[in-house]
Amino acid sequence: MTRRIFTIILLASLAAAAQETQRHYARAYYTKWKPGMAAEGQAFLKDVAAKAARSWVQGDPSAIGQITMLRLLPGGSGVDHDRLRLTITNRPPDPDFVREISPGSPKFVEAAGMKPADYQAKIRTFFDTVRTEVWSNEIRYGSIKEGDYVRVAWIKVPSAKRTARADYYRAWENAVWAEAVKQGTVRAIERWTVLFAASEEPSSVSFGAFPDVASFYKGLGNRQEIFRKAHPGKDYHAYRQADDASGEGSSGTQTIIYRVDAAVWK
């Protein structure tokens, strides 16, 4: 049943993205440190796991990259994970992992100088994987780098509004985000659709990545100025009205601030 549901959602995503030129997929891993293991685990991930990731990016033709982010805010135990890792490819992930190639695949672990069984045993001593999700990109502007501060927002859009919301992004918002990245007020902006999650219906995930704390708190800066450059001669108020109308009923389910611990790209 899981595979059937995933396949239906994936086919719908592919149909909606028929005009997209660069379709990317991400498997999202939410992990939580075991008590007292964060420092040792971090050192291991910076060494062996990083080597395996670089080997994967170089050796898998479908690999786009991998980013690992550490949660900064909110703190405490209210959030179910400490780390969010994304492995990004141009090939849809296998929901059952049967045919999936990843940084943890044996040949890439061996290239990092460790036996696969020992690697998996070591990983399990450091953290637990709380859950995984499969995402498909809607837009990706810029490139997230190690050390960036990233605001990630999970947003639910009512089924009846999803087409209107997608039309709004294509007509208005995508160009605004692209212009913001071009101006350098933000390092990268991404928006993903959640194709499969164990306990959630499909939703959107938006990223805004900033190179330092100052730019993070500044955000996109003067949105009206960015809008005028993105849409010369168009009405800013019409843009805001379209946002309100298409976003009616949408709700943010969670916003988390991360710092990028590692980023490896093709």
> pLDDT-based confidence at 201, cuts 50/70/90?
low
Q: What percent of the chain has pLDDT over 70?
A: 88
The dihedral formed by the CA atoms of 129, 130, 135 and 140, expressed in degrees to the nearest 10:
-80
Residues 209-224 have pLDDT tens digits of 999 999 998 898 899 9
| pLDDT at residue 96 in the model | 62
Is residue 124 classed exposed, middle or buried when 0-12, 13-18 and 19+ CB atoms within 10 A define those classes?
exposed
Residues 241-261 have pLDDT tens digits of 999 999 999 988 889 999 999
Tokens of 48: 């062996």
All domains of the chain in start order, with CATH? 2-8+21-265 (3.30.70.100)
The mean pLDDT of 84-105, rounded to a whole number, is: 81
DSSP result, 18-78: TT-S---EEEEEEEEEPTT-HHHHHHHIIIIIHHHHHHHHHH-TTEEEEEEEEEEES-TTS
> pLDDT-based confidence at 79, cuts 50/70/90?
confident
If residue 110 lies in a helix (H) or strand (E), which one and from where to where? helix 106-111
Distance in angstroms (rounded) separating the CA atoms of residues 223 and 241 = 15
pLDDT, greater one: 196 or 153: 153
The reported pTM is 0.88
Distance in angstroms (rounded) separating the CA atoms of residues 235 and 237 = 5
Distance in angstroms (rounded) separating the CA atoms of residues 191 and 170 = 12
| pLDDT at residue 186 in the model | 95
Residues 23-38 have pLDDT tens digits of 999 999 999 999 999 9
| pLDDT at residue 13 in the model | 47
At residue 248, what are phi and psi to the nearest 5 degrees?
A: -60, 125
> pLDDT-based confidence at 19, cuts 50/70/90?
very low
> pLDDT-based confidence at 99, cuts 50/70/90?
low
Task: Kindly report the number of other CB atoms within 10 A of residue 172's CB atom.
Answer: 20
Distance in angstroms (rounded) separating the CA atoms of residues 5 and 201 = 11
Q: In sequence order, what are the beta bridge partners of 71?
A: 258
Considering just the CA atoms, what is the radius of gyration of the chain in Å?
Answer: 19
| 204 contacts 191 by C-beta, under 8 angstroms | yes
